[in-house]
Structure 1
Amino acid sequence: MTTRRSFIKTSAVLSAGLLVAPNLFAYDKKYIGLQLYTVRDAMAADPIAALAKVAQIGYTSVEGATYTGTEMFYGMDALKFAKVLKDNGLVMPSSHYRLGEELVDGSQQKGTLLNDWSKAVDDAAQVGIKYMVCAYLSTAERGNLDHYKKIGEDFNKAGEICKKAGIQLCYHNHDFEFIQENGKYPYEILLAGTDKELVKMEMDLYWVTKANQDPIALINENPGRFPLWHVKDMDKTPTRMFTEVGNGIIDFKKIFKHANKAGLKYFFVEQDKCPGNPYDSITQSITYIKNNLV
């Protein structure tokens, strides 16, 4: 993490830049996004109909989740999928991918940061993706702090390939990155061990909160590092499970006041589990967002 002196210096430079260009980090409020994992069953059954329904509900952007392994976007090649998005008035500025260190059935999966990444980047560019996100590290991929340093090196290499295509690499957190080892968090290792221009972060507000961390403190310590957010709420029960945005305990109004400092460009609603029909849940979430956040 940054020292107090370096943080003050960075903040001063950032503030000066915002005075000159106040929209430097401003996100476009016309884009209310949905991580398509939320409606994964519908996307698996009929992705074209599911995307039409998502657009009808009012979402204007989506984040993908299926490229790794298939090297297809919900069963479609890049150009066909791009057309389906356009036909529904949607954009997909971000999509999720896997690291690829873990073997599946004894083999490396394609379309990961470590295997066939150049093709993944080329396909992403055809869809109009601006952010390619490492979505998750499996238990087998995590290891100790030294291994996280290696992962950081892998991220830098993948980020270089993205940069050549005009795409930004990001990493999406869960809560396991905030389990301390020798007084340090793996998340600290990833932040410090990656080039801040090559590797940025997609902050999942639910998982940061579940790990008993403060999203605003992370933003203050790492200004400009969080261009993507997952807007996911936590219910009021002792289990602290997923719930619709505005239905739980996360203070999104307070967090959104720090959007510019975070470097926010796009955010995506995500609800891993819904109590009933996911379309009902995402409708409730977007209603709250439109009335309270944008």
Structure 2
Amino acid sequence: MQISRRNFLLSGSLALAGTALMPRSLSAMAKAKDVLSIQLYSVRADMKQDPLGTLKKVAEMGYKNVEHANYINRKFYGWTAQEFKKVLADLGLSMPSGHTVMGKQHWDADKKDFTDAWKYTVEDAAVLGQKFVISPWLDESLRQNIDDFLRYMEVFNKSGELCKKSGMKFGYHNHDFEFSQQLNGQKVFDLILQNTDPTLVAQQLDIGNMYHAGGIALDIIKKYPNRFELMHVKDEIKTAGKGEMGGHGGGYESTVLGKGIIPIKEIIEIGKKSGGTKYFVIEQESYQGISPLDCIQQDYAVMKKYGFK
């Protein structure tokens, strides 16, 4: 349930008075907890072969939250929204966020409205209890010139308005091109942050993807405080191939947390302290010969050492 700004302000003085009388332990419990999830793209092959069995293993590892990366024809990994909600609930899992690309085909410029396909996406996300509907890509056709780009940032904001009606927030997840491509002398990433309403559009900062194009997560969080409600926690190592980002940056691929060159713990701490980050999502896309399930189990163990549960 969302609380309006007006009601929040009206109840503010009472809340402060109550906090003063509240025992310290209860006051601490009242604070919002950090949420740890696993991006299911990390185990995409396993999810394709045996989605239920894979989700059971994920839950057995200790994960309590997942983030999807598969929504096709109104189904999540082959289940309807209601079915998938039950599957997750039966395993003790929740899904605060999910990835579905919002593209050109989802906005009718003549009608100035979203197509049914995107409305269904938001509707189904709400059924599952998501807090964030994250688009993890911005098509090249939408970033060819500054005018088209800025028009689509307005669509981002309108998607935020649509999601808000269902008690959710729209979000965007970066790759590497946002840091290598410029429009009118400005990086695409800066333009996204400067032209989206933070009350409507959340940013999910992928701390590994940006490295491929020279982006430094610590610097980005310092530059844009309180803009990153979500974070993809990822580590990177040098590789002989083109890397996960193909021709964009190349030379790097993800690895088990703590085995690469990203200062993960430091980034997490600054994210908590000044980035506004509460939702931390583990993602690993390359495995160096280890099974994906073993990798995410090791990733979880590292995050537990950092204080996550």
CA shift at 1:211, angstroms? 2.1
Unaligned runs of 5+ residues in structure 1 are 1-19, 104-112
Q: Is the 8 A contact 1:102 1:140 kept in 2?
A: no
One-letter code of the match for 1:64?
A: H
Q: Counterparts in 2 of 1:1-294, with a 5 A limit? A: 28-29=33-34, 31-67=35-71, 69-101=72-104, 115-179=116-180, 180-237=182-239, 239-258=251-270, 259-275=272-288, 276-294=290-308
Q: In 1, Cα distance between the equivalents of 2:287 and 2:166?
A: 36
Cα 1:143/1:281, change in 2 over 3 Å: same
Aligned residue for 1:93, secondary structure, equals: strand
**Higher relative contact order (CA closer than 8 Å, sequence separation 6+):** 1
Aligned residue for 1:257, secondary structure, equals: helix
Cα shift readout 1:81-116 (whole Å, capped 9, x = no counterpart): 11111111111000011122269xxxxxxxxx7552
Q: In 1, Cα distance between the equivalents of 2:291 and 2:116?
A: 36
Q: Which has the higher strand share?
A: 2
Tell me the number of residue pairs that the alignment of Structure 1 and Structure 2 aligns: 263
Cα shift readout 1:196-229 (whole Å, capped 9, x = no counterpart): 1111100000012222122222222222211111
One-letter code of the match for 2:83?
A: K
Q: Is the 8 A contact 2:74 2:81 kept in 1?
A: no
Q: What percentage of residue pairs aligned between the two structures are identical?
A: 39
Q: In 2, Cα distance between the equivalents of 1:281 and 1:174?
A: 22
One-letter code of the match for 1:132?
A: V
Q: Is the 8 A contact 2:236 2:254 kept in 1?
A: yes
Name segments (4+ residues, structure 1) moved above 4 Å.
20-23
Q: In 2, Cα distance between the equivalents of 1:78 and 1:224?
A: 31
TM-score using structure 1 length:
0.82
Aligned residue for 1:246, secondary structure, equals: coil
Q: Greater CA radius of gyration, 1 or 2? A: 2
Q: In 2, Cα distance between the equivalents of 1:32 and 1:189?
A: 29
CA shift at 1:168, angstroms? 0.8
Q: In 1, Cα distance between the equivalents of 2:239 and 2:77?
A: 35
CA RMSD of aligned residues (A): 2.3
